[in-house]
Amino acid sequence: MTNHLFDAIRSRMPGPDRVFATTADGEVLTYGGLLDLSARLAHVLAACNVCAGDRVLLQAEKSLTALVLYLACVRAGAVFLPLNPSYTTAELDYFLKDAEPGLVVCDPAREAFASERGIRTLTLDHVGGGSLMDLAQSCSADFRDASRDADDLAAILYTSGTTGRSKGAMLTHENLLSNAKTLAEIWRFSSQDALLHALPVYHSHGLFVATNTALISGASMIFLPRFDADQVVKHLKDATVMMGVPTFYTRLLNHPGLTQEAVRHMRLFISGSAPLLAETHRQWLERTGHAVLERYGLTETNMNTSNPHDGERRPGSVGFPLPGVDLRIVHAETGSPLPQGEIGMIEVKGPNVCHGYWRNIEKTQTEFREDGFFITGDLGLVDQEGYVHIVGRAKDLVITGGFNVYPKEVESEIDALPGVLESAVFGVAHPDLGEGVTAAVVSDGTTVLSETLILAGLLQRLAKFKLPKRVLIVDELPRNAMGKVQKNLLREQVKDIYRNDASL
């Protein structure tokens, strides 16, 4: 029997005494310990009558036990389904009904909620204890891994659901394995690397991109419970690689401990999950001597593109398609390929792309072309040198007076103005134009910003139809847990701004 994903991970593990992960509290898990604990947890799953293909839902704080439970699911043939621990019970109820898990592992405070719905429930607290570990203590460290093929499901990750109910992307053993092997190769990972891990483990970035790449390389991790600038700076000296979201980098730039000496042992900084401002890229390079490597991925696809490890890491670009990934830019309506340099819908195809959405055939058919390409929903272009640029989400496209306005273009011009830290541009219903271009702007604290000042600065930079009809100065932009700006919240907050003023 073979277990497609875990067999590959096991075959690349270093010796059992090599460290896999160290926590901020000094807890150490070796590769031998990782094998033992994942086996014990797999036995717990079997004792709870979890069979191959059954879903195991995890809603708990980040801990090493939570991470190892993912591997236990792979070994037992189960489908791992991690959820954001901040989801409310109302949101959890939706996932329980949609996924129909065979087992729920949750924070002790949520135990009654899940068990009252007739689902077997175990607990896992923020330090990795609870009834799950109580049962694991008495289990054997030997486990006969379930036979799973390349196309068998390994995980279901639910999309963020900013435009409706979350959908479960079905990720197979090969989806995860192929992407991990590719990333390890192009990012030059080895057993000598130590990855600074401050990301959540319910999202593909921290769970699959970070963890699977480290595992397939036999690398180690410095496993922090969350991002804390003081803790990250403290541990930089022990790390060689860091993966983060743009917020990590902007906050670290405000930390006095971020110096070239502090990053002397680092070889690579990677950013994703949200766009990294070109200004942040420039400041990071000046401050540390390192150019951040930006890449592009989705819940449904893991990683699709990356700036090069060796070569120009172009600010504002997400680099080139990964080996084995086909990427094309097409007309959003017809699907017809567009010439190089033109903006259109990004579509991808490759071994990294999910097999569709859980129990949602209609959505699966809608999001995949007949030739197998996945419609990402992102608008972008490929420049003359082959670099891919993301200009925004198709749903964020603003159609004003019959003209298409790409928010990224307007945001780039606003962000270049003196005193601007960042901005978000979005469309709001307008009685005359259909949608009015609207901007929310955050000051960097060096200048008192105003709507008049921003608009005056844009007059010579943008065509009139692209100019915001209103500019709102805000303290901060709303973001989700992965740092993505939630324009839907901004849009909702000002949905009536143009209702009684068609002259704007």
Residue 208 is predicted with a pLDDT of 96
* Alpha carbon distance 385, 47 (integer Å): 55
CB 289 within 8 A of CB 261: no
Q: How many Cα atoms are found within 13 Å in the side-chain-facing hemisphere of 370?
A: 3
Q: What is the pLDDT of residue 396?
A: 83
> Is residue 276 within 8 Å of 269, Cβ to Cβ?
no
What's residue 500's pLDDT? Answer: 65
Q: Are 63 and 124 in contact (CB under 8 A)?
A: yes
Q: Which pair of tokens denotes residue 269?
A: 């900084």
Q: State the Cα–Cα distance between residues 391 and 306, nearest whole angstrom.
A: 16
Give the model confidence (pLDDT) of 79-102 as tens digits: 999 998 988 888 899 999 999 999
Question: For 156-180, how does the pLDDT look when each residue is reduced to its tens digit (9 = 90+)?
Answer: 999 865 445 789 999 999 999 999 9
How many whole angstroms separate alpha carbon 375 and alpha carbon 369?
7
pTM as predicted: 0.85
Tracing tokens 């189960």 back to the chain, one arrives at: 78
CA dist 397 and 386 (Å) reads 24
The pair phi, psi for residue 226, each rounded to 5°, is -165, 175
pLDDT of residue 164: 55
| 10-residue averages of pLDDT along the chain (504 residues) | 96 97 95 98 98 97 97 98 89 92 95 90 94 97 97 92 73 98 98 97 94 98 96 97 92 95 96 86 96 96 97 95 98 90 96 96 93 94 96 83 82 93 92 88 93 93 90 93 84 87 48
Burial class of residue 165 (count of CB atoms within 10 Å of its CB; 0-12, 13-18, 19+): exposed
CA 264/CA 279 separation, integer angstroms: 22
Specify the amino acid at residue 90. A
Contacts by residues 446-450 (CB-CB < 8 Å, ≥ 24 positions apart): 446/418, 446/419, 447/418, 447/419, 448/419, 449/419, 449/420, 449/473
> How far apart are the C-alpha atoms of 286 and 309, rounded to whole Å?
18
DSSP-derived pairing of the beta strands 434-443 and 420-430 = antiparallel
Tell me what pLDDT residue 402 has: 75
Contact 136, 43 (CB under 8 A): yes
Is residue 337 classed as helix, strand or coil in its secondary structure?
A: strand
- SS3 category, 144: coil
pLDDT of residue 163: 45
Q: Which residues of 206-224 are buried (b: 16+ CB within 10 A; e: fewer)?
A: bbbbbbbbbbbbbbbbbbb
For residue 46, give the 3-state DSSP assignment: helix
